[in-house]
Amino acid sequence: MALSKRRLSQLESVIKQYRQDFYAVGKALREIRDGRHYHKLTFNSFESYLRRRWDMGRSTAYRLIEAAAVIDNLSPIGEVLPKNESQARPLTRIDAFSQRRVWRDFLETGQTLTAVNIKKFVSAHLGEQKTKAAFREVISTDYQKAVRAMLCQIRIAQNDGWRKTSQKTALYWNNVMKEKILWR
């Protein structure tokens, strides 16, 4: 019993010390919840423990716990990870295997690491899942590479302030491509 109280004390000190570190707090909260350690402090439920001990709502705690699980899942595949809970949150909507694949794909786009960009990317992925099989059969790897290269050039031009390639010219060539695709 003394060992578990000591462990609870350690976990709570993590929450105090790292309140801004979503990953450490999420892991500590998960262990407190899963081990039902809050009972040692005579709290009847995890929710009452959160509210009274940390002035934290249930949804906030569960978002932190889920975000920590995303980081645990993504850690083996790379050095670049979501930097905060709001960046990890969109990935909680998909299964662990898909999280890794979607995260790799997101990083390959070169988009800025923001919660909004990640959310849009995951939403697009979820929308594609309905027709994924047919979609992949129709688009070749070479075509996908060409599109990614073009998107990379657009991003370079945007970052350059459209000095080397004008926005008007980029839009013109976009229309040319559209006409070629629709031409019969």
- Pair of tokens at residue 73: 């899942």
More confident residue, 16 or 57: 57
pTM flag (> 0.75): no
> Can you tell me the distance from the alpha carbon of 61 to that of 160, in angstroms, rounded to the nearest whole number?
41
Helix, strand and coil content of the chain, in percent to the nearest 5, comes to 80, 0, 20
Contact 110, 152 (CB under 8 A): yes
Confidence of residue 135 (pLDDT cuts 50, 70, 90): very low
What local confidence, expressed as pLDDT, does residue 4 receive?
82
Confidence of residue 182 (pLDDT cuts 50, 70, 90): confident
Q: What CA–CA distances, in Å, run from 182 to 2, 111, 172, 176, 178?
A: 73, 29, 15, 10, 6
